[in-house]
Amino acid sequence: MTDAQDDCIFCKIASGALGTELVHETATTVAFNDLAPLANKHILIVPKRHIGSLAELSHGDDGLLGDLMETARIVAGKLGIADSGYRVLTNVGPDAGQTVFHLHWHLLGGEPLGQFGRQ
């Protein structure tokens, strides 16, 4: 790992170093419960490879993007929220609220979700 990866909590989780209970795992992603949930169901979906944010992806990452979204679909099914609905989002940079600089999707659901952003 690089120094950035050594300090990255999501790299540690993805590598299994912290023993975090996973909701789902593929060859390129892991999914686990958020420690500070913002909805009844709040899962983080993280690539195993360190990528700072969506802004660092290119066409060469199309397969990874597909796997991240497929993981979201599978996890929503496992959680029983696929039919009622769920939200998938990612924050890019500090102004958007990104606090961990490792690409991750938030999967939110299990209850009616309100609008987001400034009114």
Strands (E), 5-60: 24-25, 29-33, 41-47
Mark whether 42 is an active-site residue: no
Pairwise CA distance, residues 51 & 4, whole Å: 10
Pairwise CA distance, residues 28 & 90, whole Å: 17
Q: Exactly one of 24, 50, 102, 104 is catalytic; name it.
A: 104
- Which residues are designated catalytic? 104
